[in-house]
Amino acid sequence: MQVATRAIVFSSLKYGDTSLIVKAFTQSDGLKSYLLKGVLSSKRGKLKTAYFQPLTQLELIANHKNKGTLETIKEAKVIYPYKTLHTHVVKNSIVLFLAEMLGSSIQEEEKDESLYNYLEYSLNWMDDHENIANFHILFLLNLTKYLGFYPDTSYQKEAYFDLLEGNFSIRPSLNPIIQGSTLDCFRQFLGINFDALLTIKMNKTNRQELLQAVILYFGLHLHGFRKPRSLAVLNAVFD
């Protein structure tokens, strides 16, 4: 079936000498994988390699068989040309990290328009703003709303956050926890939007520790989740 849909690229992998396998989250059908035959060797085709950089927003004309196999793309065009995401060093590092996190976290081949709208809005916000040092942490925490394991914000004044149970607790358990100054930082992110990022103050150590905790939180709640390899690059950028 031929469909016209918006899509956000998660990854592209070279296949053979001239082709790409592209994983993208579509507005119409959720996660899709596409085989782009010969795209690396064609200079005059409708599909350009540059279209398939991580988190690029596209308008696609695609053929979806919806049988769990690789789909095909007939036409593609960029619908939101980023001004800064792929050229600003820090933002590009965040993009690579978030693309890897999304690719490992979202596996459903079904329509989820609210999730698609969240991704689209978030990326456009980051492209338009400069204060983005803590953007990726808030992005991931708010993403858990759509994945089904947003932290239970009851009893926020308690001294521990249990990462396996997803709630605050009076005393530590045998599960991984957040505590101390990292927990103080964690509380600042709960229930806020991106415009409130200016109010959050964190040092480098707290940021790295909190991000490690958030990644562990994803790993505890998502089957098959893989720790992102791009984390080391992101930490180096903020070092």
Residues 221, 110 share a domain:
yes
**Does some domain include residue 34?**
yes
Mark the ranges of the chain whose per-residue pLDDT is less than 70.
44, 239
* 95 and 65 together in one domain: no
Q: What is the pLDDT of residue 237?
A: 83
Q: What's the gap between Cα 205 and its chain centre?
A: 22
Query: 101 and 34 in one domain?
Result: no
Domain membership flag for residue 157: yes
Same domain, 69 and 123: no
Residues belonging to the chain: 239
Tell me, yes or no, whether 133 and 204 share the same domain.
yes
* Pair (73, 93) in one structural domain: no
Residue 170 inside a domain? The answer is yes
Question: pLDDT value at position 212?
Answer: 96
Residue 167's beta-bridge partner residues?
152, 162
Residue that terminates a domain, selected from 52, 78, 104: 78
Which of the listed residues 33, 58, 78 is the one where a domain comes to its end?
A: 78
Are 9 and 40 in the same domain? yes
* pTM of the complete model: 0.94
Identify whether 160 is part of a domain: yes
84 within domain boundaries? no
pLDDT digits (tens, 9 = 90+) for 187-234: 999 999 999 999 998 888 999 999 999 999 999 999 999 999 999 888
DSSP string, 74-91: EEEEESS--SSTTTSHHH
In 16-63 the beta strands, taken as DSSP E runs, fall at 19-26, 30-36, 57-63
Q: Quick check: is 63 in a domain?
A: yes
pLDDT at residue 3 in the model: 94
**Nearest alpha carbon to residue 110 among 79, 68, 54:** 68
In this structure, are 100 and 71 located in the same domain?
no
**Does residue 193 sit within a domain?**
yes
The CATH number covering residue 17 comes to 2.40.50.140
Q: Does 205 lie in the same domain as 136?
A: yes
Q: The CATH number of the domain where 131 resides is what?
A: 1.20.1440.120
Tell me, yes or no, whether 211 lies in a domain. Answer: yes
Three-state SS at 73: strand
**CA distance linking residue 162 with residue 122, whole number of Å:** 27
* Full residue range of the structural domain in which residue 103 is found: 89-238
Asked whether residue 73 falls in the same domain as residue 118, the answer is: no
Among 46, 78, 110, the domain boundary falls at 78
Q: For residue 214, what pLDDT is reported? A: 98
Q: Are residues 162 and 111 in the same domain?
A: yes
* Structural domain total, the chain: 2
pLDDT of residue 7: 98
Residue 71 and residue 93 share a domain: no
